């Protein structure tokens, strides 16, 4: 992908110019300058992952980070309509996935992006929300009957709550598969004691998983 797109997008973000940033990102998709996956992984994700704050006052940095995340979230929600258009030509694999972040985990951008990627791979994917308590997750499984629950976890501190959640899912719904994704699982020592079926760290992993379930 042409890096000038990322650089131009960053000029709007640095000025906290939400109208310009949102319009520019959506125009890249509408004018077919970039694929949706490229926009997410090579423009939106790095704008957050490499967020730098030059301000001396930490409080200013915190609201700036919140504001930037809200801009990215608006772009993702606007792209959902585009995802729906694209999925019309995608062969469905009949596999229902419920995507969420567990209790205490507020980082949700990766979960939203990967829900869209799953839809584009033919999954019947639903993003439930961030900071989802264990009881609500169990209730949603009881109502939705997903084939898989995908837990996105960023902060390694939340591995403990993830373990409690995955243990309960497997206890009450042993037939439901568990997918783990997110920065917290980059260090594999974190997952030794967790019950899960798939660990997906990238779009390539997700595509390979899509092929595996379609072949069944
Ligand atoms: C935005 C942000 C926030 C926002 C989140 C808002 C929101 N609505 O999501 C807010 C301000 C709330 C926040 C709060 C905090 N944050 Co914060 N935050 C970030 C920041 C800047 C960007 C995160 C992000 O969205 N990245 C973009 C997405 C696309 O990347 P991603 O999540 O990694 O997802 C990718 C993959 O991991 C994967 N993936 C993710 N999930 C899934 C799921 C599946 C199923 C699959 C297949 C793949 C997958 O796909 C994505 C695309 O490749 C990072 C900086 C960083 N380096 O990441 C810090 C960061 C994650 N935060 C951090 C910290 C410490 C905190 C706080 C504890 C700060 C505090 N003291 O209060 C709190 C914790 C809140 C909580 N309880 O969860 C640390 C975590 C350090 C660590 N590893 O322990 C980071 C790394 C900052 C830093 N360098 O210190 N944060």
CATH of the domain at 175: 3.40.50.280
Tell me the residue range of the domain where 54 lies.
3-87
At 138 the pLDDT is 97
Could you list the mean pLDDT of each consecutive 10-residue stretch along the chain, which spans 216 residues?
88 94 96 94 94 78 90 97 95 97 97 98 97 96 97 96 97 98 89 92 96 88
Mean pLDDT of the chain: 94
> Could you tell me the two tokens for 139?
């209730």
Query: 177: part of which helix (H) or strand (E)?
Result: strand 177-181
What are φ and ψ of residue 152, in 5° steps?
Answer: -100, 120
In this structure, are residues 151 and 104 in contact, taking their beta carbons and an 8 Å threshold? no
Specify whether 64 is located in the same domain as 23.
yes
Cα–Cα distance for residue pair 80/12, rounded to 1 Å? 22
- Looking at the chain, the number of H-run helices and the number of E-run strands are 9, 5
At 64 the pLDDT is 87
Rounded to the nearest 10 degrees, the angle between the axes of helix 58-87 and helix 109-120 is 10
CA 142 to chain centre: 23
- Residues in the ligand 1 pocket, defined by CB under 6 Å: 41, 45, 48-49, 51, 65-66, 69, 104-111, 113-114, 150, 152, 154-156, 179, 181-183, 200, 206
Specify whether 74 is located in the same domain as 117.
no
At 114 the pLDDT is 98
At 215 the pLDDT is 83
User: Is the whole model's pTM more than 0.95, yes or no?
Assistant: yes
Which of 72, 107, 126, 180 to mutate for ligand 1's pocket (most ligand atoms within 8 Å of CB)?
A: 107
Q: How far is the CA of 58 from the centre of ligand 1 (A)?
A: 18
Specify whether 70 is located in the same domain as 145.
no
pLDDT digit string, tens, across residues 102-119: 999 999 999 999 999 999
Please, how many CA atoms are within 13 Å of residue 11, restricted to the half-sphere of its CB?
A: 7
At 203 the pLDDT is 97
Specify whether 78 is located in the same domain as 100.
no
CB contact burial 128-150 (16+ within 10 A = b; e otherwise): bebebebeebbebbeeeebbbbb
Count structural domains, the chain.
2
Which one of 39, 59, 87 terminates a domain? Answer: 87
Specify whether 44 is located in the same domain as 144.
no
* Residue closest to 68 by CA, chosen among 25, 105, 32, 38: 25
Q: What percent of the chain has pLDDT over 90?
A: 84
> Could you tell me the two tokens for 4?
């000038």
At 1 the pLDDT is 67
Burial class (CB in 10 A: 0-12, 13-18, 19+), 13: buried
């Amino acid at each position: 992908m042409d890096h000038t797109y990322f650089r131009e997008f960053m000029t709007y973000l640095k000025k906290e110019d939400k109208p310009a940033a949102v319009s520019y990102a959506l125009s890249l998709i509408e004018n077919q300058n970039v694929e949706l996956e490229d926009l997410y992984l090579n423009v939106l994700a790095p704008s957050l992952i490499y967020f730098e704050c030059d301000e001396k006052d930490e409080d200013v940095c915190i609201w700036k980070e919140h504001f930037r995340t809200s801009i990215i979230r608006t772009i993702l929600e606007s792209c959902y309509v585009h995802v729906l258009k694209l999925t019309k030509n995608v062969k469905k694999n009949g596999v229902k996935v419920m995507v969420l972040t567990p209790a205490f985990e507020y980082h949700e951008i990766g979960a939203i992006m990967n829900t869209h990627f799953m839809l584009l791979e033919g999954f019947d994917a639903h993003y439930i929300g961030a900071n989802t308590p264990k009881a609500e997750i169990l209730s949603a499984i009881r109502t939705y009957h997903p084939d898989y629950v995908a837990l996105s976890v960023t902060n390694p501190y939340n591995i403990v709550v993830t373990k409690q959640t995955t243990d309960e899912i497997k206890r009450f719904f042993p037939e439901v598969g568990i997918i783990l994704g997110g920065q917290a699982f980059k260090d594999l020592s974190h997952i030794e004691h967790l019950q899960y079926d798939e660990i997906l760290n990238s779009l390539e992993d997700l595509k390979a998983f899509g092929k595996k379930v379609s072949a069944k």
